[in-house]
């Protein structure tokens, strides 16, 4: 019997459980509104290393290994590890995996990687191919800035639409049993490109993909926005979030009362000077595995749709005049009973 429903969604009858999570953030994120929900706040951006790239690798390594410890498991108990990041050849994930004794599947979905890794991990669990799987990702402000925009030493002025790449890493361990939040649906998105070519306006570039995936998820599942206590996008920031709300309303979906964007929430945009909000793989990773997961465990959220969004750009493509494609992947997480059936 096919597990596919509609055009882009799979239904996971076995309900893979998210049995543990770990979120690690940098000092700036540790000063933001969600600080108390993160497990580890670094004292400095270098985390004791001699480069920002090495610091990001150590963050990701710690997030993964701490999640395994929290689940009371050992590395040899984990069948697969899914991970990716923003850097060339996903070096943070590759080098973290070098020090972890788990079969590794590297991913690149830009900032959509947390939902991408969680969705794929859930599907491989539901297919009976694994007993335990890790889903993870990371980003770092300083490593991402010099790869995608300009070296920090240049002191380039940031326009109002710009976002601040989150220094953070998040990991989730999935298992088959236990009284934990579980994954019910995965909707993988299509690449959408509406001609945005400004690398400082990623929210606008990613919003159409978020709209398309959310709309398709609701259509495939037969649900409406009222069936969710929370719909959370990954890192659209203030501008992308507003566009997403407006575009979905044109399709007949009013999500305003249940909608949050991790990029808008992780910082106090005005006080912390981050303009439109946060971005990066680590943005949705730490908010999902920190704030949202803990809200679900507490019973304050019973059904959430998490939608990580990614701008699939590279300096090479940008220098050649290419526009910025966007992608969004959605995962439905539920816990306990609900009043929406």
Task: Dump pLDDT digits (tens) for 106-129.
Answer: 999 999 999 999 999 999 999 999
pLDDT higher than 90, residue 318: no
Name the E strands within the chain: 4-5, 9-11, 17-25, 40-41, 80-84, 104-107, 133-139, 164-165, 168-175, 182-187, 230-233, 259-261, 278-279, 303-311, 326-334
Say what percent of the chain tops pLDDT 70: 94
298, pLDDT greater than 90:
yes
* Backbone conformation region of residue 32, classed left if phi is above 0, alpha if psi is from -120 to 50, else beta: beta
**Would the pLDDT of 77 be above 70?**
yes
Q: Where are the chain's structural domains?
A: 15-175, 182-334
- Phi, psi torsion values for 55, nearest 5 degrees: -65, -40
271-280 residue pLDDT tens: 888 887 889 9
Tokens at 208, concatenated: 């159409």
Share of residues in the chain with pLDDT > 90 (%): 81
Q: How sure is the predictor about 341, in pLDDT bands with cuts at 50, 70 and 90?
A: very low
Report the pLDDT value the prediction gives residue 154, as an integer from 0 to 100. Answer: 52
Single out the residue of 15, 20, 69 nearest to residue 297, CA to CA. Answer: 20
Distance CA 175, CA 178 (A): 8
pLDDT value at residue 319: 83
What is the CATH code for 15-175? 3.40.47.40
**Residue 144 pLDDT greater than 80, yes or no:** no
The answer to whether 15-175 and 182-334 have equal CATH topology is yes
Cβ distance 183 to 332 under 8 Å?
yes
pTM of the model: 0.94
Q: Topology of 182-334 in CATH? A: Peroxisomal Thiolase; Chain A, domain 1 (3.40.47)
Paired tokens of 93 = 């994930």
Is residue 339 over pLDDT 90?
no
Question: What residues are paired with 72 via a beta bridge?
Answer: none
């Amino acid at each position: 019997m096919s597990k596919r429903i509609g055009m882009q969604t799979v239904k996971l009858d076995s309900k893979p459980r998210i049995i543990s999570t770990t979120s690690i953030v940098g000092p700036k994120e540790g000063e933001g509104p969600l600080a108390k929900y993160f497990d580890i706040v670094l004292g400095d951006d270098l985390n004791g290393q001699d480069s920002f790239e090495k610091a990001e690798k150590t963050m990701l390594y710690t997030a993964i290994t701490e999640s395994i410890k929290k689940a009371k498991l050992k590395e040899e108990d984990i069948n697969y590890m899914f991970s990716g990041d923003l850097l060339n050849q996903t070096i943070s994930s590759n080098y973290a995996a070098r020090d972890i004794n788990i079969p590794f599947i590297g991913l690149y979905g830009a900032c959509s990687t947390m939902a991408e890794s969680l969705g794929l991990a859930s599907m491989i669990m539901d297919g009976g191919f694994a007993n335990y799987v890790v889903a993870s990702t990371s980003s770092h402000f300083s490593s991402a800035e010099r790869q995608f925009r300009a070296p920090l030493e240049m002191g380039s002025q940031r326009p109002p639409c710009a976002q601040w790449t989150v220094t953070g890493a998040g990991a989730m361990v999935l298992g088959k049993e236990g009284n934990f939040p579980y994954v019910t649906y995965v909707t993988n998105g299509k690449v959408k490109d509406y001609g945005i070519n400004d690398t400082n306006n990623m929210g606008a570039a990613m919003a159409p993909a978020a709209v398309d995936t959310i709309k398709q998820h609701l259509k495939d599942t037969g649900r409406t926005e009222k069936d969710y206590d929370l719909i959370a996008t990954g890192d659209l920031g203030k501008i992308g979030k507003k566009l997403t709300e407006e575009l979905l309303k044109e399709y007949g979906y009013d999500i305003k009362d249940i909608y949050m964007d991790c990029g808008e929430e992780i910082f106090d945009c005005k006080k912390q000077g981050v303009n439109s909000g946060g971005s990066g793989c680590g943005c949705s990773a730490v908010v999902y595995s920190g704030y949202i997961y803990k809200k679900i465990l507490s019973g304050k959220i019973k059904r959430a749709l998490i939608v990580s969004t990614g701008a699939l750009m590279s300096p090479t493509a940008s220098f050649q005049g290419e526009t910025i494609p966007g992608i969004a992947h959605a995962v439905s997480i539920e816990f306990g009973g609900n009043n929406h059936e």
